[in-house]
A and B are shown apart, each in its own frame.
Chain A
Amino acid sequence: MIDIQIKNSPLDVQVCIDYTNHRNAGGTAVFIGTVREFTKGKKVIRLEFESYEPMAIKEMKKIAEQAQEKWSTLAIAIHHRIGVLDIGDIAVVISVATPHRKAAFEACAYAIDTLKETVPIWKKEFFEDGAVWVAAHP
């Protein structure tokens, strides 16, 4: 079971957890990525995320399928938010249910690590004195 979503409105963690509720699950790992106030000592005012949506959905689905194959996940939900986000807002939620806890942690870590590397979503950080596209330059 795989649920992939890109949303322009606030994410609901419980929706992801409910989706991964499974009678054979022994553990569910949930990762919640949030907007933090300081980046390298600089105060962030807000973030903006944009995505190349059809490809981002495809790439997120690929990640979920790889996790399913590698860790026999029973259900996995990956929801990513786009648009303008404020400090403390949730940018991404990943919920993974597996028969045993170790696989849930590993699959969840794999999903967020790979998402950050391959999914075409971009984050712009706004400071009091300007803005930068995150991780664009070495």
Chain B
Amino acid sequence: MSKDDFVGYAVPAITLGLGLFAWEGLVRYFAVPSYLLPAPSLIISTLIIDWSVLSASLWVTLSITLKALGVAVIGSVALAILFSQSRLVERAFYPFAVAMQVTPIVAIAPLLLIYLTPGVAVLVCAFLVAFFPLLANTTLGLSSADHNLVDLFQMYRASRMQQFMLLRLPSALPYFLAGLRISGGLALIGAIVAEIAAGSAGQGSGLAYRIVESGFRLNIPRMFAALLLISVAGITIHLLLTALSHWLLRDWHDSERGRET
């Protein structure tokens, strides 16, 4: 491990440690009741004790997130390809994609609950949030192939299919992956927000539901434990997608280029 790596990991770890230590100390010193602010140690022990309930909820939330992200990837790439093939289709549909994006998901969720079962509604909400960054990035990527290369393909009488497979698709890959990293986090947020909105409809056993439920029961340590799990899930998704991006682009893209020192 180089010095830079050490600083990169050690400094935030020390900051975190000091912060938790101060939190624990202040809670104990002022004897803050746990229904106001639980100490970190209590949150961890709650996490362990309630693990069976919380892990089941974590699994529900994660499975919604991943399903939504998967559908968003397939849908956005398919639509972006359609946009890249026809300007008319792009003109016809892009404004609606934008409208979908700018409408807050919390506002759409109650409406969706009227038409869909709560489980499906939550999935659709998470999908809607994850969809647009992927669509916007992939559409941009598909139209940003080097114009000299486009000329070259034309000069060698490349077919539409060849131009698409050998030029447009690989050119779009870095853009798609950037969109995927944004959407990965957003899918989780969408799943949580939608579940909170749907929670009142009685359905749900995801982490968001646990937070709402714990709030009602004044079980604040469990609320924090659920929050911690959500954060860890979000960070894990981000790290996995970053690793995927690095693995796919490491040979050629400038964003993955290490500076020679």
The yes or no verdict on A and B being binding partners is no
